[in-house]
Chain A
Amino acid sequence: MEEILRSKEIFKIIPFDYNLPVLFFPVRHHSPACSYHLQKVMEEYKPDCILVEGPQNANKLISVLTDEGTVPPVAFYYYYKDSEKHISEDADDYKCYYPFLSTSPEYNALVYARKNNIDCAFIDLPYGEILINTAAGKGLRRKSEVPGYSDDYYLSEGKYFAALCEKTGMRSFEEFWESFFETDALYISTEEFIARMYTYCYLLRENTPKEDMLSDGCIVRESHMSECIKNAMKTHSRVLVVTGGFHSYGLYNLVRGSENPIKVKLHNFSDKVQDVYPMCYSYESADALNGYASGMQNPGFYNAVWTEIKNKTEAGESIDNTYDNVIMDTLLKCGKGCSKSGLLITMSDISSAVTMYRGLAAVRDKKSAGLYELYDAVQSCFVKGELSASSRLPLEILNKIAAGSGIGKLSDRADKVPIIKDFEDTAQKFRLKINTVIEQKIELDIFSKPSHMEISRLFYRLSFLETGFAKRIKGADIINNTDRSRIREIWSYKRNAESDASLIDASLYGATIEEACTVCAARRLSDVQRAEEAAKLYVESFLMGIDITESFAEKMQDIIIDDGDFFSIGKAAYYFNMLRSLKRLYGVKNNNEEFFLIKCFDKAVTMLASMINVSDDYADECIKICRLLYSLVTNTFLSDRYIVLMDAFRRMTKASDPQPAVYGAVLGLLYGSDGKYKDNISSALNGYLMGTKEMQKQGAVFLRGLFSTARDIVLVGNEFINITDRLIKELSMEDFMEVLPELRLAFSYFTPYETDSISKRAAELYGTDYFEMLQNVNIYSRIYPMGIELEKEICNETGVSL
């Protein structure tokens, strides 16, 4: 691979000469090596026009981006509302970010242009046009938690890349990139660096099917960019084109006319349909590891590399030891971070790590160690014991340092923060009074007025973002299961400086309230470990009316799978089942809760066997969950799991020393599925009856469990009345008083009519007339003392003692 990349044969295919009227500089987003060589090219070539890949509807923001008051990381936030259905019948809204770091070659090119008064512009299609020319699920229309304007995926995806990693023994594309294009780049000439980039990108392009490039909008975009370049060449003599390396060859062919461009007719969209805003960004957000996927990972580390390169270049020093210095610095910071967190890192560990990363660079034939050798050194020398979640601290600390922690700053000339604008637009749409200091109240008829449901969702979202803007005074609380019957909600709300500040804080998660909530929910979920908590978070998402992301769904699954607490799983199942029944009412269309409910069900069933021995304190909760599981297989889409659940119940009944209430409840559920379990129930009850006094007491507990799931067993025939009667008769008065609460609870499951029917048969058992019994039930207080007196008299007369 190295031999191929070192060859300059590529210049015969894409020429690179400072005398040419146009130069194509290939970049990767956020690459310090690209920025370093770009700087050299700009100084050598002295362009009179710099064109940068990026949607051209952001040209108006170049002055803000390159303003001295703007400090990266910052980003452009693009949006497009497809209300005219140019993309699809769904008329969706689209958005994406284009982040700029101080390491970004595109940013440095624009800053250079401003400082040197050179014409500059973005040359890609406006954002909406890119989307219109892209097939569903491709390019910028790929599903992503926070979509970024970047086509870096060209560099790192596909079979070509996988084979390359296997061949070069690299663990990931990032390691390959660093090895061939970052650390090495500081030791080679600019021509050689560009030759490498051209070669790598040319080979990638040759291995990318044209249909793919057509469907993801690549060819259309290149056609438009080439037209912009040709126009610029009419008025300028040295045009420098800074684009992703993948486009260099395509643009070169289009500009020289060896390929015909696709004509694109641009729409005339108003600012309401399509616009772009600048916003502050953070290193954390810019880290491709966080799902923003727009450029290199670990921007904090590479920012340190870029700072070192700039400082040394300005001081006229050699940049050979750049990586060694930054790695040493990062290693010491990591060691310090570990020590602060209570993990002592000694000088011996540090020196061992230095030996390790330098030794690894030598074994791997690298001129200098890079971030991946540093990771190896920290793992080997700082992690003591098995590499696990608890021992990963040094690697976690290194991750944080490598990701970076700074937040950018926008020049005062920048427009309003998008999330505030979204808030104001939404408030205006619903006619909420936000320009007053007086607290407002609003009653929402959420189930009959769609706009009220929308307002309720907005309030839930703003509460979720902890803005303090809105507070629910009355309304159904489905999380705590209170006031469920309420069909209206009453909210109070007030806008103030604090609520605006909280919203601006939340803008790091997204440019709209909905997007911020989506990302924030996914992040909060990552800190959750119990299924019950995760399900509550899901309920909040439900109330906010936000679609959960793929990563949210993935994480939710992981939490359910990993949660070993049966009760937490049961509670989560309860929430998902409840949402399933509420979703029509709330106008929710997706089926996520059904999917999670299945996961909870499956998990709960695998844990059922051990629940038969649950402690008395948890028996009622356990019975509740068993009943829920049973109702799911009998009444819902989970009926295909009926046999699996019954199997699990059967296994429970075979366990030794069962908790009597759970045992009774499970037998009751089995009786519900198959009448022959009546025999098992009577023999179990007889077992309690024939046992010790302690066992007899447990019989009452068993009955409570049994009646909670199969009370009809008493109503069919007299067998259970007889057994229950025997049980009560066998107990002494003292024991009877002890189990009386359990018996009362057991019979509380019956309706008044059923209690009546049982009483009739109990009366028959003793040859008493039921109505007579009822009539004689009350003894008047005046008659009672008379009766006592009468009884005494009789005893005295007959000589019989009471």
Chain B
Amino acid sequence: MEQKYIKPPVEVRYRAELEALAAVDTGRKPENWKLSPKAVRAFILGLSKPFNYNGQKIEIHKKFFGNDALVERCIITLAGSRGLMLIGEPGTAKTMLSELLSAAISGTSTNTVQGTAGTTEDMIKYSWNYALLLAKGPVKEALVPSPLYVGMTKGIITRFEEITRTPAEIQDSLISVMSDKVLNVPELEEDGLVFAKPGFNIIGTANIRDKGVNEMSSALKRRFNFETVEPVKDVRLEKQIILNEVEQSAAEGKIEMPVDTDVAELLATTYHELREGISDSGMKIEKPAAVMSTAEAVSVYYQTLSNAWYYEEDGMSIAELTKNLNNAVCKDTKDDLEKLKAYFNTVVKFKSEKVGGLWKKFYEARKYLK
């Protein structure tokens, strides 16, 4: 029986799709890639028609929304000699994209370094099993390989999450690896040079809210191609993502409540308008400083749904949704509360008069903005 996980890795979740694509893939592959660039593209951006494999109809669904060209650029970057750096606001699916790319190209998405303020050079390169080190001296057997070391020796992608949370001098230890594709382990003397196999590359992710915390050196920047992942621009798409994600989370959390498409639309519209600074009727508004990502919208919805499931008798209330929205938006500066209030006093008021329905209730709930 297959083990149940809270969040299975991408290669496990989409095993059937990856196997089928690999079997029918006839495109040219860079060395050590599991799939050709075209098949990687198909895996991430989906195929319009299903195909037959092993007597089964295989459908490849779109997994990353909003910017097909960005995905194509990422794939070509990884086939070249430069690393790929995905940057963007929190909650824009950078990590998901890097997992999808790694799983499709190398068959694994788990070869990962998690960048933190406490990340040290040996976490990036290698460390030692001290019992073996004391017993046998500096031999390969005693070496504990890092994900980077593993990536180089196996010719697979290494993911480096939140790279800018790592101190700059630690980040710079990547420079020689990325330029010369070699890692030196001086303790192993003549056996100490680890040459990267074809297929090795690095996908870094960085959150632009951390900009300036540990700015990357220009030497390291030159070794990466940068891709800025932006929030989804299409409200319809955003609504669909909210619905999908909340339904999935609700199923995992055993919350047996239907997800309301109208509420999802209201939330998607609100997040979209606040993020873009303009309403769908062309009214300009001020953007809050807080993160207005789709992931945040999903979180607001799911929180409201959970609250209704455990505490409310009459289902989800717009008042509770407004309170959660208030808490999600007004975190960083007091100006955000003013901006949110201004949004209610202009756009929501206008919609409550023109559209009515949920928007009217939403406007009435403005008293909870504190």
Contacts and interface: CB of A to CB of B under 8 A. Distances in A.
B101 to A, nearest CB: 14
A385 B37 contact: no
A380 B72 CA distance: 11
Interface residues of B, number: 40
Contact of A380 (B77, B79, B284, B286): B77
Interface stretch (B11-19, B136-144, B217-225): B217-225
A346 B80 CA distance: 16
Given A603-B286, A606-B342, A644-B345, A171 B222 contact: no
Interface in A558-611: 558, 560-561, 599, 602-603, 605-607, 609-610
A352 B80 contact: yes
Contact of A356 (B73, B285, B338): B73
A561 B286 contact: yes
Most buried by B among A171, A558, A606: A606
B228 interface: yes
Given A384-B222, A599-B284, A356 B41 contact: no
Interface in B303-339: 334-335, 338-339
B164 to A, nearest CB: 10
A169 interface: yes
Contacts of B37: 359, 362-363
B41 to A, nearest CB: 6
Interface string A536-571: 000000000000000000000110110000000000
B335 A610 contact: yes
A175 B79 CA distance: 24
Contacts of B211: 386
B221 A380 contact: no
B69 interface: yes
Interface in A610-628: 610
Given A363-B38, A385-B87, A606-B335, A356 B226 contact: no
B90 to A, nearest CB: 13
A348 interface: yes
A566 to B, nearest CB: 12
A561 B345 contact: no
A606 B77 contact: no
A352 B225 contact: yes
**Chain A: interface secondary structure?**
helix
B295 interface: no
Provide the main secondary structure of the chain B interface.
helix
Contacts of B208: 386
B277 interface: yes
Contacts of B69: 171, 372, 376
A386 B226 contact: yes
Given A380-B226, A380-B227, A602 B346 contact: yes
Interface in B16-50: 37-38, 41, 45, 48
Contacts of A387: 226, 228
A758 interface: no
Given A363-B75, A603-B286, A561 B277 contact: yes
Interface in A347-365: 348-349, 352, 355-356, 359-360, 362-364
Contacts of A386: 87-88, 208, 211, 226, 228
A557 B41 CA distance: 40
Nearest to A644: B345
B286 A381 contact: no
B82 interface: yes
Contact of A385 (B75, B77, B80, B221): B221
B68 interface: yes
Given A384-B222, A610-B335, A355 B80 contact: yes
B225 A381 contact: yes
A564 to B, nearest CB: 9
A761 to B, nearest CB: 42
B76 interface: yes
A721 interface: no
Interface string B194-222: 00000000000000100100001010011
A383 interface: yes
Given A380-B227, A387-B226, A607-B335, 9 more contacts: A356-B225, A359-B79, A360-B72, A364-B72, A380-B226, A381-B225, A385-B87, A386-B208, A560-B284
27 contacts: A346-B222, A352-B82, A352-B225, A355-B80, A356-B77, A356-B225, A360-B72, A360-B76, A363-B41, A363-B75, A372-B69, A376-B69, A379-B73, A381-B225, A384-B221, A384-B222, A385-B216, A386-B87, A386-B211, A387-B226, A557-B284, A558-B284, A561-B286, A606-B335, A606-B339, A607-B335, A609-B338
Nearest 5 pairs of A and B residues by beta carbon:
A359-B76, A387-B228, A606-B338, A557-B284, A384-B221
